[in-house]
């Protein structure tokens, strides 16, 4: 009971009480009371004000210089951009001229018989009936999953359309009788390549963005039915079932495909033949 009585009567520790008493005697202000202390505080405040003032003055002086450098850099970027646009325009013009000359050379060399080679080589625009196939990523492309038809190719099972998926689609359309094919307006030829660069799909080194619209010239109804019944059409349906990749195919009465932007013409020549050499030590007939 004496311990409880002592705790109730002396709730504040003696040490805390003594410290509070000393603080009351010295005053509540934390500023120094001695003249030397006040002088030191004043000198410190003056030095801080000088530093702030000098910093502000330097920033104000250097601001115009930085603005000029920034403006020079912006002008240089704009000038380089205009020069790049000019060069790109020249490249496009030359490419169009070369393509026109190549098509004219094919036409002049073959007459009416060159129409089929031009079509197969993608050297001329074409139009006619066919199918329109749209392939798009899943609405929510995931990064998980296990197993599936694409696992052996080194890709994770996601809802993103991959380059080898588009390769199978295009090859399936060729196999089903397509006469001309384009992907997102990019005309395919016998030399075209569909590759990947990271997550992007490249057609002839040009990046494409989903959705991927494939236009194929041919007998629309027969081409559509043949592709959907083929192994590649079933593969596309499997991607939709397992990964949510969206696709739709429709028959079109008239499709228009542009010519390939750059056509490289190569000429084949027969290999040089050499006369057979006689075997060492061989002798003519009747020799002894």
- What pLDDT digit, counting tens, does each position of 7-39 carry? 666 666 666 667 666 665 555 555 556 677 777
Given this model, what pLDDT does residue 144 score?
43
CB 156 within 8 A of CB 143: yes
Q: Quickly state the pLDDT bin for 218 (edges 50, 70, 90).
A: very high
What's the whole-model pTM score?
A: 0.53
Give the integer Cα–Cα distance in Å for 234 and 241. 10
Give mean pLDDT, residues 113-127. Answer: 71
pLDDT in tens, 177-209: 999 999 998 899 888 889 998 878 999 888 888
pLDDT tops 70 at residue 283: no
Could you give the CA distance from residue 184 to residue 269 in angstroms, rounded to a whole number? 36
What is the pLDDT at residue 131?
95
Tell me: pLDDT of 75 over 80: yes
CA distance 135 to 214: 8
């Amino acid at each position: 009971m004496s311990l409880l009585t002592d705790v109730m009567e002396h709730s504040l520790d003696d040490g805390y009480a003594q410290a509070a008493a000393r603080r009351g005697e010295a005053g509540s202000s934390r500023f120094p009371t001695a003249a030397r202390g006040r002088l030191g505080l004043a000198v410190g405040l003056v030095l801080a004000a000088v530093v702030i003032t000098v910093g502000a003055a330097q920033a104000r002086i250097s601001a115009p210089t930085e603005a000029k450098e920034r403006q020079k850099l912006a002008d240089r970027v704009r000038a380089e951009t205009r020069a790049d646009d000019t060069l790109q325009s020249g490249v496009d013009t030359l490419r169009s001229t070369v393509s026109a000359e190549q098509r004219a050379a094919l036409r002049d060399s073959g007459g009416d018989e060159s129409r089929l080679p031009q079509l197969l080589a993608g050297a001329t625009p074409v139009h006619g009936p066919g199918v329109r196939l749209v392939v798009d990523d899943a609405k929510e492309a995931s990064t998980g999953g296990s197993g599936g038809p694409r696992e052996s190719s080194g890709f994770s099972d996601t809802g993103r359309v991959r380059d080898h998926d588009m390769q199978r689609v295009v090859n399936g359309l060729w196999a089903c009788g397509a006469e001309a094919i384009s992907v997102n307006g990019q005309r395919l030829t016998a030399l075209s390549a569909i590759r990947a660069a990271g997550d992007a799909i490249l057609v002839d080194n040009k990046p494409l963005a989903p959705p991927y619209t494939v236009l194929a010239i041919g007998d629309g109804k027969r081409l559509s039915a043949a592709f959907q019944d083929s192994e590649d059409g079933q593969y596309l349906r499997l991607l939709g079932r397992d990964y949510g990749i969206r696709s739709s195919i429709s028959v079109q009465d008239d499709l228009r495909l542009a010519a390939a932007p750059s056509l490289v013409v190569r000429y084949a020549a027969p290999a040089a033949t050499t006369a057979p050499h006689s075997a060492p030590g061989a002798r003519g007939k009747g020799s002894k």
